[in-house]
Structure 1
């Protein structure tokens, strides 16, 4: 099938192009990390480097390496990358959704499986290399009878379980982040990090594709090298997509603000907390301040800023809003913005200005957020409301 190495054919060429572009993006991420020390760039770069490593191994195979060099020892270094990719996915999302993320010494424990496998492969390579006739064969005794016969079948199940577990934890981390920002920020459009959602969906799809291929190959029919090519093509596209969006998407906004507060969402408060009575004077004081000072007109208003203005601690203010108004911070502030918008429309300002312009004057900072919030709080669109006046 393959000509002499390097053979640029319909299988190897697309993979080679994707790998080269992936390596360029990795270089850009590492270069930016060297300048900014943003841990998310380093983690994403390492994640993509592992994927590209596997891509390179398959690419040179499709270029005829294994046919040209029958006694190659590369099989000793074909490491199942899922053992390293899974924790890197988790730590990348954690580094982006945490304003004070630091990689701690104990976090290295997450990488014990991949480091252990690398050490095991080095040991069996050293042993096999010391045996007579090793230079005349591709795989030595321990590679065949220990690694391929025992370890690799176990790794299929271990990698599947580990990846599934880390993806579940990472989705939970992202969902909790989305809930948390509603308790802290009044405008969350730029903080929703839909890129991270897409990132997780892409890697989940890649994981399911790979798992399905493993099941078919193990239980139904042994897939050929070329039949597995589609997974490698998909992986190359994933590297390109993740690299481009990971490099150009703004994910550092949280680093510029103190986002260390973790108030409890109103919908998961304990029953006794729901019944806790908030002093009426605190509720009225907050209402009066919102009506008189109109802090909601500031698009960047957050819980910390408002707590300073009303001279409450962040925890105290969160409790007043959650228990006194039965809302999270985001809905509380946006309810005033919506009311301000309605008042301006009733006054006929929509005859002089666009609805979006009025919304911006009321403290909203994006069309998408304004439309979503208005419909959520009034059960009608802004235009329908304006037409009803």
Structure 2
């Protein structure tokens, strides 16, 4: 039967459509980068581009490319995209969680394995293309004798190891960021970056799926194109999620953080406790008295620097007083007072005039999600359950 490219079926069509959507978001992100010069947009565009590129082999395969063009040289340009994706994922999360992030010359070192591999692949192509009969075959001499039996298996193992390390570093970077914002902000909902967490989980899932699939194919039984199709479908769905969430989620507010700050500016300063006088019991008592008398926690934008100025302490002193005197980080410390204020308003029957969320906002919370989570954490019950037990 005569096969003509492209052939659309239930296998090729979903992969093609999902990849095309990913390329569309790549273009949109690059366009936005040139308009706003937000480097995270450009890095995410590259992540989508390389992820779509990694789909090429199976997408065109299901579309009958290899059957129609039997002397195609496409294998020379295909490579393990984890060489690019691993450092890009790390740099993307770093660009989001680091204020005033700049791509530096030394960051190119992350891509050294990719650059070396591309130089190697170009070299074997030019060698093979100079051999007689190259136009009549799909893969030349070095591609068959060196690249496929030796280099590609090594690159596969190296790619898995590289992705594992970069994912571990990136998860650590992300959760260290989450700890930092809890040490400096009283309301963290808008800064928690749950989208980034989901982004990392998805790529970790794809990595594990690919690793398990490769191990099965290498040591147990060969997997055909149809059996490998599911991984490519999941990659395609990930492309769509990352494209939509990455494009429509505003992360530029983090660029304004300059942790010396007022709510408009926020950066995370290093805290050097050795430069400040030790925290004594009186300082802790004064802080507790100030919290009860002045009620600074009612300000939803309250942060460590602002409170330190109000109590005439350095950031390091205030942080140490909260940690040692109350056994809490800044976020839990402030929200403890907000929960107490909420309970007092319930006891005063304020819920007769205001909703529970309205009372929460009066007590300094700025989102329903934060309020419910904090209340559950500190009281081991939901606000509605607490109201039932109070009356």
| Contact 1:2–1:64 (Cα < 8 Å) also in 2 | no
1:260 aligns with 2:268: yes
Whether the 8 Å contact between 2:33 and 2:41 is mirrored in structure 1 is: yes
1:200 aligns with 2:208: no
Distance in 2 (CA, whole Å) between partners of 1:12 and 1:228 is 13
Q: Distance in 2 between matches of 1:280 and 1:209?
A: 54
**Structure 2 counterpart SS, 1:299:** coil
Higher mean C-alpha deviation, range 276-285 or range 200-209: 276-285
Residue 350 of structure 1 contacts residue 386 of structure 1 at CA under 8 Å; is this kept in 2?
no
CA distance in 2, matches of 1:86, 1:243: 18
Q: Distance in 2 between matches of 1:220 and 1:2?
A: 34
Counterparts of 1:108 and 1:185 in 2: how far apart (Å)? 34
Alignment check: 8 A CA contact 1:128 1:141 kept? yes
Give yes or no for the alignment of 1:101 onto 2:101: yes
Q: Which consecutive unaligned segments of at least 5 residues does structure 1 have?
A: none
Give the aligned partner of residue 313 of structure 1.
314
Query: Conserved in 2, the CA contact under 8 Å of 1:30 and 1:42?
Result: yes
Partner residue, 2:64:
64
User: CA 1:290–1:216 in 2, change beyond 3 Å: closer, same or farther?
Assistant: same
C-alpha distance in 1, partners of 2:287/2:376? 25
CA distance in 1, matches of 2:255, 2:156: 38
Aligned to 2:85: 85
Q: CA offsets, 1:135-192, max 9 Å, x none?
A: 1111111111111121011112111111111111111111211111110110111211
Greater alpha carbon shift after TM alignment, 250-259 vs 236-245 = 250-259
For the 8 Å contact 2:210–2:231, the answer to whether it is kept is yes
Q: Which residue of 1 aligns with 2:18?
A: 18
Q: Secondary structure at the match of 2:302?
A: coil
- Deviation for aligned residue 1:2: 7.6
Contact 1:83/1:114, CA 8 A, preserved across alignment: yes
1:328 maps to: 329
Distance 2:256 2:61 in 1: 46
Post-superposition offset of 1:112 = 0.8
After superposition, the C-alpha distances for 1:81-128 in whole angstroms (9 at most, x for unaligned) are 011111111111111111232222111111111111111000110111
**The 10-residue stretch of structure 1 (87-96 or 290-299) with the greater mean CA deviation from structure 2:** 290-299
| CA shift for structure 1 position 277 | 5.9
The residue that corresponds to 2:37 in the other structure is 37
- Specify the SS of the correspondent of 2:312: coil
1:298 paired residue number: 299
| Conserved 8 A contact 1:217-1:223 | yes
* Contact in 2 for aligned 1:15/1:236 (Cα 8 Å): yes
Contact 2:90–2:166 (CA under 8 A) maintained in structure 1: yes
Cα separation, 2, equivalents of 1:141 and 1:384 = 73
Tell whether 2:362 aligns with 1:357.
Answer: no
Identify which range, 221-230 or 295-304, moves more after superposition. Answer: 221-230
1:345 to 2:346 alignment: yes
Note closer, same or farther for the CA distance 1:20–1:351 as it changes in structure 2 (3 Å cut).
Answer: same
For residues 230-241 of structure 1, what are the structure 2 equivalents within 5 Å?
Answer: 230-241=230-241
Q: Deviations over 1:243-298 (max 9, x none)?
A: 1111112222222221222459xxxx9xxx9xx96223322332233223322111
* Aligned pairs, number: 380
Match of 2:191 in 1: 191
Q: TM-score, normalised by structure 2?
A: 0.92
Question: Is the alpha carbon distance of 1:225 and 1:385 closer, same or farther for their aligned partners in structure 2, counting shifts above 3 Å?
Answer: closer
Q: Secondary structure at the match of 1:183?
A: helix
Find the aligned partners of 2:340 and 2:221 in 1 and give their Cα distance.
64
Structure 1 Cα separation of the partners of residues 382 and 73 of structure 2: 65
Matches within 5 A, 1:217-296: 217-258=217-258, 259-262=267-270, 278-296=279-297
- TM superposition score normalised by structure 1: 0.93
Quickly say closer, same or farther: Cα 1:3–1:334, change in 2 above 3 A: same
Relative to structure 2, which stretch is displaced further, 20-29 or 57-66? 57-66
Q: In structure 2, what is the Cα distance between the partners aligned to 1:225 and 1:2?
A: 20
Helix, strand or coil at the partner of 2:79: coil
CA distance in 1, matches of 2:67, 2:324: 70
Greater shift in the superposed pair: 283-292 or 216-225: 283-292
Equivalence for 1:133: 133
Instruction: State whether residues 180 and 262 of structure 1, in contact with CA within 8 Å, keep that contact through their aligned partners in structure 2.
Output: no
The alignment's C-alpha RMSD in Å is 2.0
Q: Does the aligned pair in 2 maintain the 1:100–1:260 contact within 8 Å? A: no
